[in-house]
Amino acid sequence: MFRDSERVNGAYQLVTLGPNAGQYQRLHDQPIRESFQDLDLDWASSLAVLGAEQQSALNGKCSVVGLWYGGDSPFEGEPEHRAALKSLMDMGVVVFPLCGDITRFTQQIPKELQPIGGTQWDEARVTGDVLSVYRAMTSKSFRASITKIPEPPPRVGLSGSRLPSTQ
């Protein structure tokens, strides 16, 4: 569902989905941006917030996290949101299921996200959870980019014969 044809700059992408995806702006946009600033990251160039309608802008080479803001179904744009959710899950992206009332979790969250568990979208920990996933992804990416130190070449004497190793 997500294509590489249209890319958004930034090392981090946050995909907001679900019937109440608009809650992101009210609840989480400012705290996440402030957290990026606290980490000395320029959120304007480092973070791209995408919605279901921006599927083609997803860059699989970025650190991607999803937020599903649950609510009643059916809702406007539901097929696009469900297709985007499936794409994210197929890519192995962490998607946090959030709902307005935790007692209605099973009614407000898609079945495929229910085994993950969830939280109310107004809990302060949401920002920290998102940042901890980004941190884990960044450190994993860093570790993967470190190459092995090559073995030293064999020691060879003047006549071309091998010398005993000093190790």
Q: The domain spanning residue 19 has which CATH number?
A: 3.40.50
What is the model's pTM?
A: 0.76
User: How many C-beta atoms surround the C-beta of residue 116 within 10 A?
Assistant: 13
What is the longest distance spanned by two Cα atoms in the chain?
A: 81
- CA-to-CA distance for 42 and 46, rounded, in angstroms? 6
Q: Which of 161, 81, 96 is nearest to 131 (CA)?
A: 96
3 is a domain residue: no
**Is 109 inside any structural domain?**
yes
Domain enclosing residue 36, as ranges: 12-145
Assess if residue 77 is contained within a domain.
yes
Within-domain flag for 76: yes
Domain assignment present for residue 166? The answer is no
Question: What total number of domains does the chain contain?
Answer: 1
pLDDT tens readout for residues 24-68 = 999 999 999 999 888 888 888 889 999 998 878 888 788 999 999
Compute the chain's Rg from CA coordinates: 22
Per-residue DSSP letters for 68-103?
EE---SS-TTHHHHHHHHHHHHHTT-EEEEEES-GG
In a domain, 1, yes or no: no
